[in-house]
Each structure stands twice: as C-alpha cells, then as structure tokens.
Copies of this chain bind each other. A is one copy, B any other.
Amino acid sequence: MGKLTSLLALLHNSESVKEIEQELTSRGYQYTVGKVGAMDLSKVVSAIETSAKSKGIVNANSYREVHALYHAILEAIQGVGRGTVQFGDILRTVGLTFSIVRGNIDFSGYGGEWISVCVYGTIGAPKKGFEHDALGFGFNHI
C-alpha cells in the first residue's frame, strides 16, 4: 500500500499512473491526488487535509479519522523538511503533489484499515530552478 501511494504521487503525470490506479481500485482502496504550492507550512497541511475530506477519503465528522490522517500528513512533511518542520520561516518554498490512499490490509496482524500519505515535489528558494526534489511518506492505522 505504501508503494502504491508513493508511485501514485511520483507517476502522477505519466501514463503508467493508470496501472497504479487500476491496482488501487482492484484492491478496493480509496485514493486521491492533489497539488499544493506554498511557503506557508499550514497551507500544505490544510490542503492535504481538505482534499482528503472533500474526496471522502476520511470522514470529516469523525475525529478518529481526522486524527489518523493528521499524523500521517505530519510524518510525510518530516520527510520533505529533513530535520526542520519549517518552510517559509527558513526561506523555503515547496511545490508538492500529494497522494492519499486508504484501505484494508489483511495479512498477519494488520486486519483493518490503514491510511498513507505521500508528498513529492520540489523544495527550494522562491526562484525558478533554485529548488530540488523532495519526498515524504506517512502511514497510520485508521
């Protein structure tokens, strides 16, 4: 499930994303992909949260589900920040594609629903070409 989530974000603009989407659908997973660009960390968190709610990946009226999603987002952002969970404060801007996948995993102790979030894009100075790739991934039970 983590691999599919990551490939969904990484291959979003390529043709091979269709295979990923078919695999996700055949497993009965719910998923969505979106984009956000910001210097403001709270906008990134908010964009991913809002997308998951509006696409019905999580139930916006269930604190349990929102709590699970929130911690998966924070984990993914830590991969992007690599040591500091800050963007604009340290003059970094990000342009990110995010993917969110939710579904049942049924082997050994898993038994139940899990959620994973992948963010892939660029981080750098607010000047074209002065940025490089960044990637983050979070995973939680839901």
Contacts and interface: CB of A to CB of B under 8 A. Distances in A.
Given A6-B120, A78-B79, A108 B129 contact: yes
Contact of A64 (B67, B109, B125): B109
Nearest to A87: B89
Q: Is the interface of A mostly helix, strand, loop or mixed?
A: mixed
A84 B82 contact: no
Contacts of A125: 66, 70
A91 B136 contact: no
A64 to B, nearest CB: 5
A88 interface: yes
A29 interface: no
Interface in A2-23: 2-3, 6-7, 10-11, 16
Contact of A141 (B10, B42, B68, B128): B68
A28 interface: no
A45 B125 CA distance: 11
Interface of A: 1-3, 6-7, 10-11, 16, 41-42, 45-46, 49, 61-64, 66-68, 70-71, 74-75, 77-79, 82-86, 88-91, 107-112, 114, 116, 118, 120, 124-125, 128-130, 132-142
23 contacts: A1-B133, A2-B134, A2-B135, A3-B120, A6-B6, A6-B10, A6-B135, A41-B89, A41-B90, A45-B91, A61-B109, A64-B110, A67-B130, A74-B90, A78-B79, A107-B129, A108-B130, A116-B133, A118-B135, A135-B135, A135-B136, A135-B137, A141-B141
